């Protein structure tokens, strides 16, 4: 702990920090994903399912307090509902997943005007469950997943005629983590009795591979922007003799804007030029 | 340096190949494909092949010959159902939109239970119902409860009320005849009222892979007493028949180990494999035993739990004609013997 404290002090001393009064607006977006899911989870069924995918998401990108020119952090969260059906069309699954991801990226403007590259690390958590209403003791498959990996992004500021436009491609690839997956034919009754050891698994590229690609175009109409995009999520997992695969293609629609945090106890609001309707 | 970078670039590709190298076969939605899918699901997941000495490959050979791609759904169902009967398993069912295959062992034995006879001639229709339990007082100051299905969840408050209202009785009959099972935790909730200390309940295991003998280590589990709740410490008789199946079979196997409890009636129906469900390309579902539960002695009770020594009894036709339940009458005798021995 002492070593960490010393390291923090050294870092704060060496790294440039935000100048007084310098704003760090957060790029915030609220989006809805609508798409199609193709999935396989042999704990629930040997058949491949496909069907509707919905996600409501939030994203915030903000320059870091230290060295804001070079580093940004990103928080994204969402709630997903999937409703795929089997090939015969006589059974459907219900999946509800909440996800929370945090990443920190170093950024570097490239020689091409308006083009910036980002690269860094990402931490993520997914929690939820897939429910198969026709099953007996394998009635559901929990989704509990902690992961750490890499993320990279290309952003390009341009215009469409007179309309400013920001294009972005971001790819995230978890590298290691932990996830919950029952053993091959392990019942939840056995897990309830306390034998959950086989269900807690270390994840690495040898037993699971996840990747997410996000393409967005933010059309800047005044203070707010229209976000249109495409998201692809891909998971393949083989552990405990269970195969899980998940591939999602979805259209992303949302709004984005930049927000500035104003400290009302100080005179910042005058400096920020904000006009409050109440204060 | 360039070679090194190439190797690094190949890593994600290798990772995908590593993670997804397990092939999951897909079967066509035709009679042959559905038959093969059904056979494979059981081959990879069914847990009693060795215990029941079933040669599943030979079964495939025998029934595969009967598959013809021109056969109707009904004909395919009949062949598949007959194949599943080879497993002699009450937890194994093929479910189609028009039928459900079944191996219900109790259909081969006397029913040994007549609900109307009990309600009319023993309870005189003077009984109460709380959640899934019917209960009341019988002659000779004996209490009676019938738990018809462990799918009906019974609450701790319900059990407090039931056991309190029966507390003046000298003995208790728990009738689980025709209880085809349900949720195991309901069975444990009931057992917890008849113990004062944790008791070993048995062992549970599961398949860890598709091989017929790929099983986990057996995991011992026990049942805790219901602390702070109403308990029953007087003699108990549990009534059983062949329709006492699955979770009820498990309940009986645990109750049989308790010192103040006797099992009276017929052998239970068995069903000690926890069922999982799979499905075929045509949408039919199949349920099968996947995770074996062993009794406290480490034995499988797939073919039932024997009544206590000297307590196996069938209902006689003469008794039925006389509006008497032979098993109930034997329970009265056993309770009297237990009371005398105390």
Segment (H or E) for B275: strand B273-279
Which pLDDT score is estimated for A277?
Answer: 42
B20: chain A residues, CB-CB within 8 Å: 209, 236, 238, 245
Length of chain B measured in residues: 342
A276 belongs to a structural domain = no
Chain B: closest CA distance from residue A101 (Å): 21
Q: What is the pLDDT of residues A44-101, one digit of tens each?
A: 999 999 999 999 999 999 999 888 889 999 999 999 999 999 999 999 999 999 999 9
A102 belongs to a structural domain = yes
Residue A276 has pLDDT above 50, yes or no: no
Residue A229 has pLDDT above 90, yes or no: yes
A135: chain B residues, CB-CB within 8 Å: 276-277
User: With contact defined as beta carbons under 8 Å apart, do A254 and A225 qualify?
Assistant: no
A22 by DSSP, 3-state: which?
Answer: coil
Chain B: closest CA distance from residue A68 (Å): 30
Q: Is B298 on the interface with A (CB under 8 A)?
A: no
Give me the mean pLDDT over the A31-49 stretch.
97
Which pLDDT score is estimated for B116?
Answer: 96
Residue with tokens 């093969």: B36
Which pLDDT score is estimated for A278?
Answer: 38
In whole angstroms, give the CA distance from residue A144 to residue A80: 14
Which pLDDT score is estimated for B45?
Answer: 98
Higher pLDDT, A273 or A124: A124
Give me the mean pLDDT over the A193-206 stretch.
94
Which pLDDT score is estimated for A274?
Answer: 44
Contact call for B45 and A185, based on CB within 8 A: yes
A105 belongs to a structural domain = yes
Chain B: closest CA distance from residue A222 (Å): 41
Query: Residue A130: which CATH number?
Result: 2.40.128.100
A277 by DSSP, 3-state: which?
Answer: coil
Residue A14 has pLDDT above 50, yes or no: no
For B311-321, b/e burial (b = at least 16 CB within 10 A) is bbbbbeeebee
Which pLDDT score is estimated for A143?
Answer: 94
Which pLDDT score is estimated for B7?
Answer: 60
User: B204: nearest CA in chain A?
Assistant: A190
Q: Is B281 on the interface with A (CB under 8 A)?
A: yes
Give the single-character DSSP code of B229: S
In whole angstroms, give the CA distance from residue A245 to residue A39: 5
A1 belongs to a structural domain = no
Domains of chain B, with CATH numbers? 107-273+292-341 (3.90.226.10)
C-alpha angle with apex B170: B166 to B175, nearest 5 degrees? 65
Which pLDDT score is estimated for B105?
Answer: 80
Which pLDDT score is estimated for A223?
Answer: 87
A91 belongs to a structural domain = yes
Candidate from B21, B24, B276 with C-beta closest to A185: B276
A260 pLDDT band (50/70/90 cuts)? Answer: confident
Contact call for A193 and B206, based on CB within 8 A: no
A9 belongs to a structural domain = no
In whole angstroms, give the CA distance from residue A92 to residue A86: 6
A187: chain B residues, CB-CB within 8 Å: 204, 206, 274, 276, 290-291
A193: chain B residues, CB-CB within 8 Å: 204, 219, 221
120-179 in B: which are within 8 Å (CB) of A? none
* pLDDT < 50 regions, chain B: none
Domain containing residue A125: 25-262
User: A187: nearest CA in chain B?
Assistant: B291
Q: Is B16 on the interface with A (CB under 8 A)?
A: yes
Contact call for B208 and A240, based on CB within 8 A: yes
| Max Cα distance, chain A (Å) | 65
Residue with tokens 């070679």: B3
Residue with tokens 């609220």: A30
A41: chain B residues, CB-CB within 8 Å: none
Burial of A257 (0-12, 13-18, 19+ CB in 10 A): middle
In whole angstroms, give the CA distance from residue A68 to residue A24: 8
Residue A189 has pLDDT above 80, yes or no: yes
Chain A: closest CA distance from residue B265 (Å): 29
A267 belongs to a structural domain = no
Mutate to test the interface with B, among A137, A147, A149, A194 (most CBs of B within 10 A): A137
pTM of the model: 0.89
Which pLDDT score is estimated for A9?
Answer: 45
Give A158's Cβ-side CA count (13 Å radius). Answer: 10
User: With contact defined as beta carbons under 8 Å apart, do B223 and B186 qualify?
Assistant: no
A226 belongs to a structural domain = yes
In Å, what is the CA distance from A252 to each residue of A54, A126, A150, A221, A226? 10, 20, 22, 18, 11
First to last CA, chain A: 43
Mutate to test the interface with A, among B279, B280, B284, B292 (most CBs of A within 10 A): B279
Burial of B275 (0-12, 13-18, 19+ CB in 10 A): buried
Q: How many CB atoms lie within 10 A of CB B143?
A: 23
Q: Is B317 on the interface with A (CB under 8 A)?
A: no
Mean of per-residue pLDDT scores for chain A? 89
Higher pLDDT, B37 or A20: B37
In whole angstroms, give the CA distance from residue B37 to residue B26: 8
The total of structural domains in chain A comes to: 1
Q: Is B13 on the interface with A (CB under 8 A)?
A: no
Q: What is the pLDDT of residues A140-176, one digit of tens each?
A: 999 999 999 999 999 999 999 999 999 999 999 999 9
Which pLDDT score is estimated for A11?
Answer: 45
């Amino acid at each position: 702990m002492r070593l960490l404290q010393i390291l923090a002090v050294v870092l704060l001393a060496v790294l440039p920090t935000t100048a007084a009064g310098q704003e760090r607006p957060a790029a915030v977006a609220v989006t809805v994903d609508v798409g199609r899911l193709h999935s396989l989870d042999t704990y629930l069924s040997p058949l491949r399912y496909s069907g509707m995918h919905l996600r409501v998401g939030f994203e915030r990108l903000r320059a870091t307090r230290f060295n804001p020119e070079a580093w940004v952090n990103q928080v994204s969260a969402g709630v997903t509902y999937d409703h795929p059906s089997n090939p015969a069309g006589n059974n459907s699954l219900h999946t509800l997943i909440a996800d929370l991801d945090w990443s920190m990226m170093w950024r570097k403007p490239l020689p091409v005007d308006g083009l910036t590259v980002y690269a860094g690390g990402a931490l993520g958590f997914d929690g939820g469950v897939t429910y198969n209403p026709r099953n007996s003791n394998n009635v559901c498959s929990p989704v509990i997943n902690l992961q750490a990996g890499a993320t990279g992004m290309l952003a390009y500021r341009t215009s469409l005629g007179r309309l400013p436009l920001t294009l972005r491609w971001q790819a995230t690839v978890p590298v290691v983590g932990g996830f919950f997956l029952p053993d091959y034919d392990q019942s939840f009754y056995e897990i309830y009795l306390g034998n959950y050891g086989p269900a807690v698994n270390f994840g690495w590229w040898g037993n699971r591979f996840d990747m997410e690609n996000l393409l967005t175009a933010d059309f800047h109409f005044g203070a707010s922007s229209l976000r249109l995009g495409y998201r692809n999520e891909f998971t393949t997992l083989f552990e405990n003799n269970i195969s899980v695969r998940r591939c999602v293609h979805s259209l992303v629609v949302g709004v984005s804007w930049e927000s500035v945090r104003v400290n009302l106890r100080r005179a910042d609001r005058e400096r920020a030029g904000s006009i409050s309707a109440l204060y | 340096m360039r070679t090194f970078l190439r190797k690094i670039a190949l890593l994600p590709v290798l990772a995908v190949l590593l993670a997804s190298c397990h092939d999951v076969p897909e079967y066509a939605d035709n009679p042959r494909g559905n038959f093969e899918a059904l056979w494979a699901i059981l081959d990879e997941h069914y847990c009693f092949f060795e215990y029941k000495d079933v040669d599943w490959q030979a079964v495939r050979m025998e029934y595969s010959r009967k598959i013809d791609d021109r056969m109707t759904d009904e004909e395919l169902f009949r062949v598949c159902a007959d194949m599943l009967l080879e497993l002699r398993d009450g937890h194994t069912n093929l479910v189609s939109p028009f039928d459900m295959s079944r191996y219900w062992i109790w259909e081969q034995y006397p029913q040994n239970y007549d609900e109307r006879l009990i309600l009319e001639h023993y309870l005189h229709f003077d009984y109460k119902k709380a959640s899934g339990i019917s209960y009341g007082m019988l002659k000779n100051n004996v209490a009676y409860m019938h738990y018809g299905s462990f799918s009906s969840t019974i609450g701790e408050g319900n059990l407090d009320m039931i056991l309190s209202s029966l507390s003046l009785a000298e003995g208790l009959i728990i009738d689980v005849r025709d209880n085809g099972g349900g949720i195991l935790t309901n069975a444990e909730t009931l057992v917890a009222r008849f113990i004062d200390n944790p008791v070993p309940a048995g062992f549970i295991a599961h398949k860890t892979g598709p091989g017929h003998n790929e099983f986990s280590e057996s995991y011992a589990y026990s049942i805790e007493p219901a602390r702070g709740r109403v308990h029953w410490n007087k003699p108990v008789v549990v009534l059983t028949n062949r329709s006492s199946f699955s979770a009820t079979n498990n309940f009986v196997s645990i109750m049989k180990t308790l010192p103040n409890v006797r099992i009276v009636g017929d052998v239970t129906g068995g069903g000690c494999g926890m069922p999982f469900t799979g499905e075929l390309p045509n949408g039919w579902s199949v349920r099968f035993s996947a995770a074996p539960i062993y009794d406290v002695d480490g034995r499988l009770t797939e073919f039932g739990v024997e009544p206590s020594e000297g307590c196996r009894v069938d209902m006689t036709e003469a008794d039925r004609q006389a509006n008497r339940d032979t098993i109930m009458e034997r329970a009265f005798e056993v309770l009297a013997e237990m009371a005398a021995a105390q």
